[in-house]
Amino acid sequence: MTAHIKIRGLSKTFAGQPLYSDFNLDFSHGKITSIFGPNGCGKSTLINMISGLTPMDAGEVLFDGKTLSQTVIGYVFQNYRDALFPWKKAIDNIKYPLQIAKKSSGEIEARTQELIQSFDVRFDLNRYPYELSGGQQQLISIMRALAPNPEVLFLDEPFSALDYEMTLFMRDKLQAIFEATKTTMILVSHDLDEAVYLSDHILMLTRRPTQIAREIEFNAPRPRQPLTLTSELFNQVKGQCLEIFQKEIKVID
């Protein structure tokens, strides 16, 4: 599988302590990769640097040989309440990246309606974010991130603040979008079950200074269903991830 994202020589220091040092990594094209590792190893920082939200001290990131400015990306934040524009109605939050991209009014309306149908939205999108439930707000965040048809979608613990019913719904919708578009997705999760369940690859990180402990494949067929969580393959892959994780958290500084 060809590499979609190539990271070379990435370095980042916080408070004089190295977080990443000459870090190299490839992300596969058209796959979902989960990033998992000990607290403080820089999972969210990694995708923030790749997506340009946090500056690197050194290094280069290329997307199919292109720079970030030449690439269309989407980003779903964990804190959806802060991520949405409170002064814009839900429908206008979704349309915002299309307006920034200077799409025509017809293109904006067509893409918005396509997303509404895809996610089977049945609540009033003419309400403001603070008038919606947490699950509805995060759904708007995901729809906004998908609106410009991104080449890469970054997701930073997108379901951690949702109740279990909404989490299951959003996982299914994310899988459906992936199956339809084959968009390269990079997911940060603190939930190992979720990281394995959704992914084709699980990137296991070490404690800082952070390196790659191992990359593990999960080749279960899609669409995945709750029964996937009880399958032999799932438990085997989860067990491998858990073994690596436990070794890392037992490391003494």
φ and ψ at 251, to 5 degrees? -65, 130
Q: Which residues of 56-94 are buried (b: 16+ CB within 10 A; e: fewer)?
A: beebebbbeeeeeeebebbbbbbebeebbeeeebbbbbb
Q: Catalogue all structural domains in the chain, each as residue range(s) with its CATH number.
A: 1-71+151-253 (3.40.50.300), 75-150 (no CATH)
Q: How far is CA 159 from CA 79, 88, 247, in A?
A: 10, 23, 27
How high is the pLDDT of residue 198? 96
Give the integer Cα–Cα distance in Å for 163 and 170. 11
Which distant-in-sequence residues (6+ apart) come within 8 Å of 106 by Cβ? none
Residue 88 contacts residue 126 (beta carbons within 8 Å): no
DSSP state, 160?
T
Which distant-in-sequence residues (6+ apart) come within 8 Å of 171 by Cβ? 159, 194, 197, 198
Query: What is the reported pTM?
Result: 0.94
Look at residues 179, 140, 183, 144 and name the one whose alpha carbon lies nearest to residue 162.
140
Look at residues 132, 153, 152 and name the one whose alpha carbon lies nearest to residue 84.
132
Per-residue model confidence as pLDDT tens for the chain (253 residues)? 579 999 999 999 988 899 999 999 999 999 999 999 999 999 999 999 999 999 999 999 999 999 999 999 999 998 878 889 999 999 999 999 999 999 999 999 999 999 999 888 999 999 999 999 988 998 999 999 999 999 999 999 988 878 888 888 888 888 988 998 899 999 999 999 999 999 999 999 999 999 999 999 999 999 899 899 999 999 999 999 999 999 988 765 4
Which distant-in-sequence residues (6+ apart) come within 8 Å of 180 by Cβ? 118
- DSSP letters along 42-106, please? -HHHHHHHHTTSS--SEEEEEETTB-GGGS-EEEE-S-HHHHS-TTS-HHHHHHHHHHHTT--HH
- Structure token pair of residue 216: 């593990």
Which distant-in-sequence residues (6+ apart) come within 8 Å of 94 by Cβ? 112, 115, 125, 140, 143, 144, 147
